[in-house]
Amino acid sequence: MPACDVTPEPYKGRSYEETMKIKRSNIAPTKVPAYSKPLLLTQGKMQWLWDDEGRRYLDMFAGIVTVSVGHCHPTVVGGLKEQLDEIWHTTNLYLTPPMHEYAEKLTSTLPDHLKVCFFTNSGSEANDLAIALARQYTSSFDVISFRNAYHGGSPYSVGLTAHGTWKHSYPNGFGIHHSMNPDPYQGVWGGSKCRDSLVQADRQCGCDGECEAGERYLEQLKEVLDYSVGGRPAALFAEPVQGVGGVVQFPKKFLKKAYELIHERGGLCVSDEVQTGFGRLGSHMWGFETHGVTPDIVTMAKGIANGFPMGAVVTTKEIAQAFTGTLHLNTFAGNPLACTVASKVLDVIQGEDTMGLCRRVGERLIRGLATLRDEFNIVGDVRGKGLMLGVEMVQDKGSRAPLSGPDMLEIWDNMKNMGLIVGKGGLRGNTFRLKPPMCITEEDADFTIGVMRKCISDFANKQPQRKVTI
């Protein structure tokens, strides 16, 4: 494991057994913990986490892509401590310097037409608000997202989410339609020429020259508009790279043409930057920029405040006017503590060139992960951009059938036991997600590749001849 110059304080809180007892009695059972034996994490510093027994872990998941610049980053912590002695909360009915200064700083990173901020507490809430804004502005009701997308878990945003595993038996999704997911690896069309990634899908591509898969998926979107939408759509929601869905990237030029189609029909385009924003992709500050598109609304959360609960919707003055004449208030929106933290996060991103780090270390990481795909038949695909990467595990490359849940858990547990924390995603949970704090080093990347190689190798070597099931 790479060296670390931090010595954690001895943990003096409740024991592991007491904490588990409280979990079983007092914590909602929907919150299924990671790993067969849940971690009790007690301290964090930059890319490192420690558990109750003082064991150190390299955090390559960042609290689900949320700790953007590092656990307890000193610049962020310092700003928060100063604000704690000034004012914690009042209401955004009044003026507070942190909120207004942050709104100016945030919008300066976006295209000139995106100048008006609505602050929220989460990404689900931000996407809820974006739906309402789009419907109010267009006077239309129909909204479109893509299968395999995740846009939140609230009753409104869960309608946008197209993963059956997140659906519940209450009404949701009224007026929301899901188009076929443009997935070059598992989708109907796609192959080795499709993605904006250093590593392409290991799949025969039928395209002659440029990727044609995007056109086929665009035809599916046209069909949704023609058959399911009554006239003008309110909005199209899209993640620049699908996050919870397993780091799925669209074919090149697809999203640009999808935006053009929606705009031609009079609808708005919403870029969900909850996971892709703030420089994580390494080439641009915002994920939509990697597609060469211009959204009408941008939603964001997670890394916006390094783990402090906060989200935002940024849009044009004209669209924001749609709420004029009706009251819209969020009690905690623009909270001085949250806005101070978010402002300091931007300072770190811009002052420490985290985008450059994402590009440089991300390239090393994805190239190393690609060697795992070459070595193991159960590593089906490696993809992503910057420090937003995915490794899709399969029963074998020929079938591309997902590796089973118990098999994934065995490998995942072993990675944790070797000091590496990664996430899981995809509809069937068979994609390892690597989305670390944007402060990891090349040595950390090499350690990650080494641990993954060891754990995958140990699993593969003890398996009998695998029987493929589809």
Inter-residue contact 268 to 232 (CB < 8 Å): no
Average of per-residue pLDDT values in the chain: 95
Torsion of CA 340, 345, 351, 357, to 10 degrees: 180
Neighbours of 448 (CB within 10 A): 24
* pLDDT score recorded for residue 462: 87
Tell whether the model's pLDDT for residue 468 goes beyond 50. no
* pLDDT score recorded for residue 467: 46
Least-confidence region, from 18-32, 48-62, 126-140, 340-354: 18-32
Query: Cα-atom radius of gyration of the chain, to the nearest Å?
Result: 22
Confidence bin at 274 (pLDDT 50/70/90): very high
In whole angstroms, give the CA distance from residue 41 to residue 386. 27
Sort strands 235-238 and 268-272 into parallel, antiparallel or unpaired.
parallel
Q: Give the residue from 369, 358, 380, 374 showing the smallest Cα distance to 430.
A: 380
Q: Give the residue from 298, 308, 296 showing the smallest Cα distance to 342.
A: 308
User: Which residues, including other chains, have CB under 8 Å from residue 156's CB and lie 6 or more apart?
Assistant: 124, 127, 128, 131, 172
Inter-residue contact 161 to 151 (CB < 8 Å): yes
In whole angstroms, give the CA distance from residue 301 to residue 47. 20
Overall fold of domain 77-351 = Aspartate Aminotransferase; domain 2 (3.40.640)
Confidence bin at 46 (pLDDT 50/70/90): very high
- Stretch 175-192: mean pLDDT: 95
In whole angstroms, give the CA distance from residue 440 to residue 109. 24
- Stretch 6-31: mean pLDDT: 92
pLDDT tens string 341-395 = 999 999 999 999 999 999 999 999 999 999 999 999 999 999 999 999 999 999 9
- Stretch 4-19: mean pLDDT: 95
Strands lying side by side in the sheet with 48-51: 41-45, 48-51, 56-59, 420-421
* pLDDT score recorded for residue 209: 66
Three-state secondary structure readout of the chain: CCCCCCCCCCCCCCCHHHHHHHHHHHCCCCCCCCCCCCCCEEEEEECEEEECCCCEEEECCHHHHCCCCCECCHHHHHHHHHHHCCCCCCCCCCCCHHHHHHHHHHHCCCCCCCCEEEEECCHHHHHHHHHHHHHHHHCCCCEEEECCCCCCCCCCHHHHCCCHHHCCCCCCCCCEEEECCCCCCCCCCCCCCCCCCCCCCCCCCCCCCCCCHHHHHHHHHHHHHHHHCCCCCCEEEECCEECCCCCEECCCCHHHHHHHHHHHCCCEEEEECCCCCCCCCCCCCCHHHHHCCCCCEEEECHHHHCCCCCEEEEECHHHHHHHCCCCCCCCCCCCHHHHHHHHHHHHHHHHCCHHHHHHHHHHHHHHHHHHHHHHCCCEEEEEEECCEEEEEEECCCCCCCECCHHHHHHHHHHHHHCCEECEEECCCCCEEEECCCCCCCHHHHHHHHHHHHHHHHHHHHCCCCCCCCC
Domain spanning 16-65+353-461: CATH 3.90.1150.10:
yes
- Stretch 208-234: mean pLDDT: 91
Confidence bin at 324 (pLDDT 50/70/90): confident
Inter-residue contact 276 to 239 (CB < 8 Å): yes
Any idea which residue has 């190239």 for tokens?
A: 367
Tell whether the model's pLDDT for residue 206 goes beyond 90. no
Confidence bin at 45 (pLDDT 50/70/90): very high
Three-state secondary structure readout of 279-290: CCCCCCCCHHHH
In whole angstroms, give the CA distance from residue 182 to residue 205. 14
Confidence bin at 470 (pLDDT 50/70/90): very low
- Stretch 173-191: mean pLDDT: 95
Q: Give the residue from 163, 222, 216, 221 showing the smallest Cα distance to 190.
A: 216
What residues does each domain of the chain span? 16-65+353-461, 77-351
Tell whether the model's pLDDT for residue 120 goes beyond 80. yes
Tell whether the model's pLDDT for residue 466 goes beyond 60. no
pLDDT > 90: percent of the chain: 88
In whole angstroms, give the CA distance from residue 454 to residue 312. 41
